[in-house]
Amino acid sequence: MDQDQPSSLFDMEMDSNAQAHLLSISKWAKFISVTGFVIGALVLLGLATGGREILNTLTALTSLGQTNIAGALIVAAIIVLGFAGTWLYFLLRASGMLRRGLQSRNTNDFAEGFKAMRIYFVLSIVISVLSILGTLFSLVNM
């Protein structure tokens, strides 16, 4: 029964139109991930250069005036940036592996690209669920 199925993805006779679309997806994924890394680097640079002023402003904005709360907010921002960096890394990896797999017609690279894209989408779902939960909790506390 399974003898009629091709043994690899490239035995399926992928036409040039499908390959062009996958290469386009790869290019856009690389553009989005590089743009995200640049924005993250600019945010980290801003935190590094204006960290003391940000800490003073956050301390003044808190009703208790405790430095611990402002420091915790900065640590939380760094954790969010680290998570976003991991998220964008998998998009960049998927982009490179898909492109390499298409150009060399290597099914292992192509499969690794889709594996990295799957991890990227799982992290996207986690971010979406956390965002929805945050919105629901803020609505409940109103």
Amino acid at 34: V
User: Is residue 59 assigned to a domain?
Assistant: yes
Q: Which domain holds residue 96?
A: 18-140
Q: What angle is formed at CA 40 by the lines to CA 35 and CA 41, rounded to 5 degrees?
A: 100
The domain tally of the chain equals 1
User: Is residue 50 assigned to a domain?
Assistant: yes
User: Is residue 5 assigned to a domain?
Assistant: no
pTM score: 0.75
User: Is residue 55 assigned to a domain?
Assistant: yes
Residues 6+ apart with CB under 8 A from 26: 95, 96, 98, 99, 102, 113
C-alpha–C-alpha distance, residues 62 and 56, integer Å? 10
Amino acid at 115: K
User: Is residue 3 assigned to a domain?
Assistant: no
Amino acid at 21: H
Q: In this predicted structure, what is the pLDDT of residue 43?
A: 83
User: Is residue 40 assigned to a domain?
Assistant: yes
User: Is residue 1 assigned to a domain?
Assistant: no
Summarize pLDDT for 60-92 with one digit per residue, the tens.
766 555 556 666 777 787 888 888 999 999 999
User: Is residue 9 assigned to a domain?
Assistant: no
Region 125-140 average pLDDT: 92
